[in-house]
Structure formats: structure tokens, C-alpha cells
Structure 1
Amino acid sequence: MIALLAAVVERLVGYPHWLVDRIGHPVIWIGRLIEAQDKRLNDPEASFDGRKMRGVVAIAVVVLAVLIVALGIQSLLRFLPFGWVVEVLLASSLIAQKGLRDAVSDVARALGEEGIEGARRAVSHIVGRDTSELDEAGVSRAAIETLAENTSDGVIAPLFYLALFGLPGAAVYKAINTADSMIGHRDERYEAFGWGAARLDDLVNWIPARLTAVLFALAARGMPGADGDAAWAAARRDATKHASPNAGWPEAAMAGALGFGLGGPRSYAGETLDLPTMGEGRRDLTAEDIATAIGLFDRAMMIALGALAVWALAGVVL
């Protein structure tokens, strides 16, 4: 029930910007803990294997600290008359459904109202790639790819662990995912130290990524112009081409569902990477196509909420 209510609250309200300004956000607090471990343990003079072990210790400290705090908060709230309300609000902060939708919608709006320069600025807030040279199709693909991938690790994964393990499960997932985004890079500083965080993130996202692909395929079946069978076929065919063992599943499923061609070459820090394509459809995408992708996202979220409702009802009955 907590997962269902948290999803509804987050979908309607999100995490207000004024609250971020006043007290921050759980991801910010977790990020500070990760930064502290990075400064304390990531010794550039240590051997590769030594830095690898230090990174494992760092992610273990972060996960254990977040787990202890979350368990403590949950235990305390269970003794309060309306503690479940606070638990729902806290859990909703670990989901990014509304924030993701709004950010991607801003890109489509910018394309229509501000032109390519405004759209580049808008999409730069949600992607890590270079955006200064992107045309309309490049901006649109970047927004849609981000929507697909973050549906998995920003929405479905935290809901999955929230439903299974309550507030501690969602909090620990968020800690692992945040650590991966901060230190799970393949560069000189983090290739060894971030190895543990990256591998753990791969593990915890394995099921949610594939669930997200299924949700997109199901959502496409009831959507005019979309194709559920093509969504699943594209996911099975193209997902394993992706460098990540998980990110390709939702991206390929969305591409197949809507007849888009996603992925392909992109630039990071001035270096062009020749990445595989997801889907076999057209690549000259527009703001209208972003809106279509958001429509598929909305349908997938309704299916997810329905599944959570069934889960909650089953828990009450049993």
C-alpha cells in the first residue's frame, strides 16, 4: 500500500523545488555521503586492485549507512498514529515520475517555443552528452532516450524495491544508483574505485529494466500508432547491443513500440562515440515525437499503478 500511495502522491505533487531549496533532497544527502567516501578512500597512489577494494568498502559503507537510517525511520514511524503518512511522503521523494515527465516535456516545449538553442539548453539538464551541436532530431532523440532509460532507474526500480522491501528497499536502491552515477565511470579516477558501485547497480537494475520493457510493450498495445509486438521484438534484438546490460531494454522497447530509431553516435566531452542503434525506425524525430513518447510513458505508468494496486489488495486480503 505504501508503494501505491507514494507513486500517486509523487505523480500528483512531485518533490517541490522550494523544499529542495530549504532542506535538500534524499539524493543530495546520499550524494554527500558518497563524496565523503570518495575523498577518504579513493587514493590515486594505491594499486588498481587496492583502489578496487577501497571502492567496494565505500559502497558497502554507503549502503549500510542508508539501510540503518531507513530502517530506523521506518521503525519509528510504525509507532506513530499517522506515521504511515510520513512514510508515504518520504517514499515518494525516492521516485522521479513527475520530475522526469516534466523535464522531458520542457524539451518538447522549448523546441516549439524557443527554437533549437532553447531546446539544447533544456535537454542539457537531463543528459550527459554534448548538446551544443544537436539539431532538432538529435535533441528529440536525446530526450526520448533519457525518458526511456530513466523510466527504469528513476521510477520502476525504486517502486519495485519499495513494493518488495518497503522504505529501506527503495532507499538502498537509490543509494546504489546514485553511487553509480557519481563514481561508476570508466575513467582514470573511477575505473577501479567505482567498479563495485557500477557492478552492484547493474545487479539491482537487472529485473526493473526488463520490467520496464514489458510495461512499454503492454502500453503500446492500447495506443494508436504504437506496436506492442514490435516493442518486445526490438528489446530482445537490440538490448544486448548496448554497453549497459540494462539500459538497452527500455530504450529498445520504446524505439520498437513507436517506430523510432534511437541510440547511435553521440559526443561526450568532445569525443564522438559510435554507439549501437536501438530500433529500426526513423531517426528524424521532432517535438511531436517527444510528446508521443511521453504518451507511451503515461500509459506505462498507469499499468504500473494498476499492478501496485493489485499487489496492495493482495496484501490486504492475505
Structure 2
Amino acid sequence: MSILTAFLSLVVEFAVGYPAWLFGAIGHPVTWFGRLISFLDRRLNRDTDSDALRRRRGVHALLIIVLVPAAIAFAVEAMLSGIPAGLVLTAILATSLLSQKSLAEHVEAVADGLDNGRAAVSRIVGRDPEKLDRAGVCRAAIESLAENFSDGVVAPVFWIGVGGLAGGVAYKAANTADSMIGHRTPRHEAFGRAAARFDDLINLPASRLTALLIVGASFFVKGADAGNAWRTVQRDATKHRSPNAGWPEAAMAGALGLALAGPRSYDGVMVDDTFMGEGGHRDAESADIRRALKLYRVADFLLIALFGLLSVIVIAA
């Protein structure tokens, strides 16, 4: 019943998100994974070790990061399956792995307060917000909305649908590991290699599905261009330095008629990325963020509808 678990978790998280009081009381799965990852990074990733040894230890760390939380989640789901409300309780637990509501709120905060946009955008992007002009802040928010729709919503619910609560937890743990140690820095180039490669692999299906959802949403959002979104995906998605981020970003760029990605600064280092889309002549504005949010909300509704349909099929079978 993992498909039904995924559908119910989408519906519940869409409605209530992850309550702030709960975060204050017990934290969040990402913070729990983060403590484990930090501990392993401190214990296993020594500057004095060779790169080969650090790569091996990075594999060992990744196995612990993924398998230990997944095993706990599997045991919890198995225990809950024996009670009448077990499916609902499992779905409620799975909502902690999704970020539909918080993603929209964070991106909308950028549009609402562009005068203080750098502070808002720093919560959702990894680049250097102080080096962005107004249009750059807008583009960064839109890019992050597209990419985090894939990483924070579509991918976890996909893996919940495949492997139940354990599948979603395994994905979220691996994705958190990539965000913490999967960077090409002197400390993590070797140790975080396994985490980065594994994250690329497990995000492949969701990134493609996200692009299709954005293209589909473009048919229903006034001013969006579904045909251009599809053409931009076909032309530009594989040009991105990430094997996955280019798909949702290209779809969003084409739908809105913007140029996204391109050269940007991370931790003071310039990254010369290719532009997604052909709207380079047009500066992005807060209105473009709001158009992107409309696309996101419709695409998210299509995702919920897709899992609802799959749930009906599973139940009927």
C-alpha cells in the first residue's frame, strides 16, 4: 500500500505542512539525519588520510546514513501495519519527508519582501545572495522553486510510492548527505563522492517527472507556454552541470520565457553554468516569482492527482 501512503502523505502535508510547534519540540528528520552525518564526517573524514581511504570511508558512511534510518522506518511501518489506523499513521509520519507547503511559503517570502530579498533567498539557495541584483534574486528564487520541487516533493513521494516509509526515509537521508558532504571542496571531494553520485542516481526519475509536471501545468496557467517549456527541456536540460537540476529548471524557464541558471557564485567561487531558456533579454521580477508559484501549485496538484489515480488503480486491483 505504499502508493496509497504516498498519496495520503501528499494530501496531509499540502494541508498542514510540518507544524512549527512540532519542529520546536522534536526537530525534523533532516536535522536528525544531519546530526548523524556530522558525526560520521568528524569521525571518518580525516585530513591526514589518503583520498582513496576517504572515498572508501565515504561509502561506508553513506551506507550507515541510508540503511540505519531506513531500517528504523521499516520497523515502524511494520509495527503500524498491524493496527487499524496504521496506514493513516504511516502517511502522517511520511509527511515529514515532504516540503510542499514550506517551499511555497519560502519562495513567496522572496516575492513579498524583495527589498530584503537577499535574506529570504539565502534560506532556499546555496549561492551567494549578496552578489545578486534584484533580477538575480528573482531568478534564484525561481530556480530553487523548480529544483526543490523535484528534490523536496516529487522525489521523496516517488520513493515513498516505491518503498513505503522506508523508501522515503532512505531517499531523504541520502539527499541530506549530498547537501552536507556532497560538495567539491577540499574536505569533501573524496569523502562525499559516494553521497553525491548516489544522490544523482536516485533523483533521476523524479527530475524527469518534475519537468513533465511543469510542462503539464503550463497548459493551465495563463501566460505560461507549454510548447516552449517542452522544447526548452529537450534542448537545454542536459546542458546543466547537474544531471537532474536542468530538467525542472529548463521546464520552468521555457514555460515563463526566462533565462535561468547561467554563471553564478557559490561560496565565493564562480560557476560558469549554461543558461536554461532563451529569455536572457528579459529581467526577472517579483511578478515572475508569482507566476512560477502558480505553475508550481498547479504542477503539485497534478502530482497529487497522479498519485490519487494510482491509488484508485491499486485499490481496484
Same fold flag (TM > 0.5): yes
**1:54-103 Cα deviation digits (max 9, x unpaired):** 00010011111011101110011111232222211110110011110100
Counterparts of 2:279 and 2:202 in 1: how far apart (Å)? 30
Q: C-alpha separation between the residues in 2 aligned to 1:153 and 1:27?
A: 13
Q: Is 2:181 the partner of 1:183? A: yes
Alignment equivalent of 1:43, drawn from 11, 21, 46: 46
The corresponding residue for 2:5 is 2
- Matched residue type, 1:7: L
Give the partner amino acid of 1:199. R
Is 1:58–2:61 an aligned residue pair?
yes
Count the aligned residue pairs: 313
Contact conserved, 2:8 with 2:88, CA < 8 A, in 1? Answer: no
Does residue 212 in structure 1 map to residue 238 in structure 2? no
Instruction: Tell me the secondary structure at the aligned position of residue 265 of structure 2.
Output: strand
Q: Deviations over 1:248-286 (max 9, x none)?
A: 000011000111111112122223322211100144011
User: Are 1:225 and 2:223 matched, yes or no?
Assistant: yes
1:299-310 map, 5 Å? 299-310=298-309
Equivalent position of 1:292 in the other structure: 291
The residue that corresponds to 1:239 in the other structure is 237
The amino acid across from 1:32 in the alignment is R
CA contact (8 A) 2:264 2:271 kept: yes
Q: Secondary structure at the match of 1:179?
A: helix
Distance 1:268 1:179 in 2: 18
Measured after TM superposition, the shift of residue 184 of structure 1 is 0.3
Residues 1:16 and 2:15 are matched in the alignment: no
Alignment-mate amino acid for residue 122 of structure 1: A
1:36 is displaced (CA, Å) by: 1.4
Does residue 108 (structure 1) correspond to residue 111 (structure 2)? The answer is yes
CA distance in 1, matches of 2:310, 2:294: 25
- Residues 136-173 of structure 1: CA deviation (Å, up to 9, x unaligned): 10110000000000010100001111112111111100
Task: Please show how residues 117-156 of structure 1 align to structure 2 within 5 Å.
Answer: 118-156=116-154
Which residue among 251, 263, 266 is the counterpart of 1:253? 251
Report which stretch shifted further, 81-90 or 247-256. Answer: 81-90
The residue type equivalent to 2:291 in the other structure is T
- How much has 1:35 moved relative to structure 2? 1.2
5 Å-filtered alignment, 1:267-282, equals: 267-282=265-280
Q: Aligned partners of 1:268, 1:67: CA distance in 2, in Å?
A: 32
Q: CA RMSD in A?
A: 1.0
Alignment correspondent of 2:316: 317
SS at match of 2:97: coil
In structure 2, what is the equivalent of residue 98 of structure 1? 101
Of residues 76, 79, 94 in structure 1, which corresponds to 2:79? 76
CA distance in structure 2 between the aligned counterparts of 1:269 and 1:70, rounded to whole angstroms:
35
In structure 2, the partner of 1:202 is 200
Query: Using the alignment, how far apart are the partners of 1:56 and 1:109 within structure 2?
Result: 43
3-state SS of paired residue (2:244) = coil
Which is worse superposed, 129-138 or 175-184?
A: 129-138
1:151-170, aligned counterparts within 5 Å? 151-170=149-168
CA distance in 2, matches of 1:291, 1:71: 39
The whole-number CA distance in structure 2 between the counterparts of 1:175 and 1:92 is 15
For structure 1, the 5+ residue unaligned runs are none
Amino acid at match of 1:99: S
Distance 2:53 2:118 in 1: 41
Q: Distance in 1 between matches of 2:204 and 2:271?
A: 24
The Cα of 1:222 is off from its aligned counterpart by 2.2
**Contact preservation (8 Å) 2:28, 2:96:** yes
Q: Distance in 2 between matches of 1:169 and 1:236?
A: 30
Q: Distance in 1 between matches of 2:164 and 2:268?
A: 42
2:70 equivalent among 67, 73, 77: 67
Separation of aligned partners in 2, 1:152 and 1:194 = 21
Query: CA offsets, 1:222-263, max 9 Å, x none?
Result: 222111121121112111111111110000110001111111
State the TM-score, normalizing by the size of structure 2.
Answer: 0.96
